[in-house]
């Protein structure tokens, strides 16, 4: 990217000025701030950041290196704590309710919509970054804006793709990965017959469980709510999806009903399964391992987009990461400076590269990051943000959609029907009742 001048900045943000100010708390930006998106921090500022624990070591290593670089440039001490995905969400909710906790919490999905009034308006940060780096993907606005203001800065998403053993696909009689539901089921059945089952999380897995269960329902035309936020999950389309999931479940390895986000990684690397939905972390672990067997496995791993169902378009859900700044923070300017700094090209692109694309970018300019083409196996993850649907599909994002997701209603419905603990009709009816409790509040 060419050098970014003050003139360029003023041109790209001229149209955004009406939506949000470019200063913070009345402070004006210096020439250096215009070049690097820095906000004037409070005197003696210190920051505490809570984020989810890495699945790829390069992610955490570079995030901490970039944080250290921020401290060296600004003198602002930053403490970063890492927790499991399942732990970050409730801790964020507690912080919002009690008015105390980390200045910045990097959480999941539409958590920002559960307590928008507790979050600092970061429209200025998002306008700056969007103007400089080609704009945000539309799904970012769904997750991070409320009443025409940005309430969180998009970090990106943990892009998901189908991870499979190419040799086992060939043994099952397929030359290429199928792009339709019927072919996908046939492949899974063929691999199971050859002693290589599939494995998709059906426990309350924030990333993997939500991602594949939403996909399978959406692909058949089912959805939690319609465009008017009426709960419509109990539908013929959903029933068809659950019947399909029941057949697919027959190809699964034992134990998937209790799988969380790390279980399929372990099972794949141990050779227990040959097909799953996951981020690039399985490939990363195999590729960077010193174990010759895992090195060999890395050569056999391929990635593919999820098949398209009867509705004729992609219906992928990926684990979205909002970076939320809470109003109780005593140093909001310093926090904004940190958020902008971490999203700048000088920090963001090397961070993506260190994690071999584990987080897919929310800003369109970063599609050109060489990480996506340096290894063809990375490429399917590049467009995760571009093609994904928001969790609230097809209605609005808000408390109800966030609560429905947090309560794992979609995951539980598919698990019940797939395992046979309930019939597809019973599972859909129960999901309808559970969701209506939130949408009728």
Strand 153-158 with 319-325, pairing: antiparallel
Whether 74 contacts 41, CB under 8 Å: yes
> Which two structure tokens, joined as six digits, stand for 110?
């539409």
Spatial separation of the C-alpha atoms in residues 295 and 257, rounded to whole Å: 30
Rg (CA), the chain: 22
Long-range contacts of 175-181 (CB under 8 A, 24+ apart): 177/302, 177/304, 178/307, 179/305, 179/307, 179/308, 180/307, 180/308, 181/219, 181/244, 181/307, 181/308, 181/309, 181/310
Mark the ranges of the chain whose per-residue pLDDT is less than 70: 1-38
Whether 308 contacts 323, CB under 8 Å: no
pLDDT in tens, 296-307: 999 999 999 999
Q: Which of 317, 316, 190, 213 is nearest to 259 (CA)?
A: 213
What's the confidence (pLDDT) of residue 4?
A: 32
What's the confidence (pLDDT) of residue 16?
A: 35
Q: Where are the alpha helices (DSSP H) in 152-207?
A: 166-171, 181-193
Beta-ladder partners of 49 = 80, 104
Element (H, E) at 51: strand 46-52
> Which two structure tokens, joined as six digits, stand for 208?
């993997």
Whether 265 contacts 199, CB under 8 Å: no
Burial (Cβ within 10 Å: 0-12, 13-18, ≥19) of residue 143:
buried
Q: Dihedral angle at the C-alpha atoms of 120, 126, 128, 133, nearest 10 degrees?
A: 160
Cα of 327 vs its chain's centroid, Å: 24
Distances (CA, A) of 181 to 44, 245, 247, 305: 57, 11, 11, 12
Whether 158 contacts 207, CB under 8 Å: yes
Whether 130 contacts 366, CB under 8 Å: no
| Ranges assigned E (strand) in 257-411 | 275-278, 301-304, 319-325, 359-360
Spatial separation of the C-alpha atoms in residues 307 and 291, rounded to whole Å: 33
What's the confidence (pLDDT) of residue 273?
A: 98
> Which two structure tokens, joined as six digits, stand for 414?
């598919």
pLDDT in tens, 112-169: 999 999 999 999 999 999 999 999 999 999 999 999 999 999 999 999 999 999 999 9
| Ranges assigned E (strand) in 138-249 | 145-146, 149-150, 153-158, 161-165
Q: Which of 364, 360, 351 is nearest to 321 (CA)?
A: 360
Residue ranges and CATH numbers for the domains of the chain are: 6-157+319-378 (3.40.190.10), 161-317+407-439 (3.40.190.10)
């Amino acid at each position: 990217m060419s050098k970014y001048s003050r003139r360029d900045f003023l041109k790209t943000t001229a149209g955004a000025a009406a939506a949000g100010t470019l200063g913070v708390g009345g402070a004006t930006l210096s020439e250096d701030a215009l070049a690097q998106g820095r906000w004037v921090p409070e005197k003696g500022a210190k920051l505490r950041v809570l984020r989810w624990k890495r699945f790829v070591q390069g992610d955490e290593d570079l995030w901490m290196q970039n944080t250290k670089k921020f401290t060296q440039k600004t003198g602002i001490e930053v403490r970063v704590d890492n927790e499991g995905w399942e732990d970050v969400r409730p801790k964020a909710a507690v912080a919002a309710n009690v008015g105390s906790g980390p200045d910045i919490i990097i959480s999941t999905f539409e958590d920002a919509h559960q307590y928008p009034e507790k979050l600092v308006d970061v429209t200025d940060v998002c306008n700056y970054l969007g103007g400089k780096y080609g704009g945000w993907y539309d799904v970012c606005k769904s997750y991070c804006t409320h009443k025409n203001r940005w309430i969180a800065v998009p970090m990106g998403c943990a892009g998901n793709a189908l991870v499979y053993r190419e040799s086992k696909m060939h043994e099952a009689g397929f030359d290429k990965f199928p792009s339709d539901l019927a072919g996908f089921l046939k492949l899974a059945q063929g691999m199971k017959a050859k002693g290589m089952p599939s494995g998709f999380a059906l426990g309350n897995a924030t990333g993997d469980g939500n991602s594949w269960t939403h996909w399978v329902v959406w692909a058949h035309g089912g959805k939690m709510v319609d465009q008017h936020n009426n709960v419509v999950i109990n539908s013929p389309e959903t029933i068809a999806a659950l019947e399909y999931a029941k057949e697919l479940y027959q190809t699964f390895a034992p134990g998937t009903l209790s799988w969380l986000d790390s279980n399929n990684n372990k099972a794949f690397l141990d050779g227990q399964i040959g097909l799953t939905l996951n981020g690039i972390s399985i490939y990363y672990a195999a590729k960077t391992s010193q174990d010759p067997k895992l090195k060999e496995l890395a050569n056999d791993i391929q990635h593919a987009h999820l098949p398209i169902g009867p509705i004729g378009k992609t219906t992928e859900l990926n684990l979205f990461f909002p970076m939320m700044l809470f109003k109780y923070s005593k140093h909001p300017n310093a926090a904004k400076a940190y958020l902008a700094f971490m999203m700048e090209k000088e920090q963001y692109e090397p961070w993506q590269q260190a994690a071999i694309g584990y987080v897919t970018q929310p800003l369109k300019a970063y599609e050109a990051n060489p990480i996506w083409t340096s290894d063809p196996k990375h490429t399917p993850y590049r467009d995760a943000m571009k093609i994904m649907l928001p969790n609230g599909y097809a209605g609005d994002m808000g408390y109800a959609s966030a609560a429905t997701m947090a309560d794992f209603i979609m995951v539980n419905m598919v698990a019940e029907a797939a395992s046979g603990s309930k019939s597809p009709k019973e599972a859909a009816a129960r999901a309808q009742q559970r969701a209506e409790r939130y949408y009728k509040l």
